[in-house]
Chain A
Amino acid sequence: MLSIQNLHKQFGNLVVLDGIDLNVDKGKVVVVIGPSGSGKTTLLRCLNVLETPTKGNISIQKAHLNFGGKVAKKDIQTLRKQTGMVFQTYNLFPHMTALENVIEGPVTVQKVNKEKAKEKGIQLLQKVGLGDKVDFYPHQLSGGQQQRVGIARALAIDPEVMLFDEPTSALDPELVGEVLRVMKELANEGMTMVVVTHEMSFAKEVADEVLFMDKGQVVERGHPEEIFTHPKQERTRQFLNLISE
Chain B
Amino acid sequence: MYLLNNVLYSAVFDADRYTDIAQSSFLPLVKGALFYSIPMTLISFVIGIMLAITTALFRISGIKLLSGIARVYISIIRGTPLLVQLFIIFFGLPSIGIKIDPFPAAIIGFSLNTGAYASEIIRAAILSIPKGQWEASQSIGMSYGQSLRRVILPQATRVSIPPLSNSFISLVKDTSLASTILVAEMFRKAQEIVANTYEPLLLYVEAALIYWIICFILSLVQDQIENKLNRYVS
Contact = CB atoms under 8 A, between A and B. Distances in A.
Given A77-B143, A105-B141, A110-B141, A139 B234 contact: yes
Interface string A71-83: 0000001001101
Contact of B133 (A50, A93, A110): A93
Contact of A108 (B139, B146, B154, B232): B146
Contacts of B135: 50, 85, 87, 91
A172 to B, nearest CB: 17
A92 B137 CA distance: 9
Contact of B142 (A91, A109, A137, A140): A109
Given A91-B132, A95-B155, A85 B139 contact: yes
A166 interface: no
B158 A157 contact: no
B132 A87 contact: yes
A94 B233 contact: yes
A137 B151 CA distance: 14
A91 B140 CA distance: 12
Contacts of B234: 139-140
Contacts of B154: 95
B11 interface: no
A200 to B, nearest CB: 27
Interface in B128-168: 130, 132-133, 135-143, 146, 150-151, 154-155, 158
Nearest to B143: A77
B146 A89 contact: no
Contacts of A105: 140-142
A213 interface: no
Interface in A84-101: 84-85, 87, 89, 91-96
A80 B146 contact: no
Nearest to A48: B139
Nearest to B229: A95
Given A87-B132, A108-B150, A139-B234, A95 B158 contact: yes
A105 B234 CA distance: 25
A85 to B, nearest CB: 4
Contact of A77 (B141, B150, B158): B141
Closest 6 CB pairs of A and B: A105-B140, A91-B136, A85-B139, A91-B132, A109-B141, A139-B234
30 contacts: A48-B138, A50-B135, A50-B138, A85-B136, A87-B132, A87-B135, A87-B139, A89-B132, A91-B133, A91-B136, A92-B136, A93-B133, A93-B136, A93-B137, A94-B232, A95-B154, A95-B155, A95-B158, A95-B232, A96-B232, A104-B150, A108-B142, A109-B142, A110-B141, A137-B232, A138-B232, A140-B234, A154-B140, A156-B140, A157-B141
Interface of A: 48, 50, 77, 80-81, 83-85, 87, 89, 91-96, 104-105, 108-110, 137-140, 153-154, 156-157
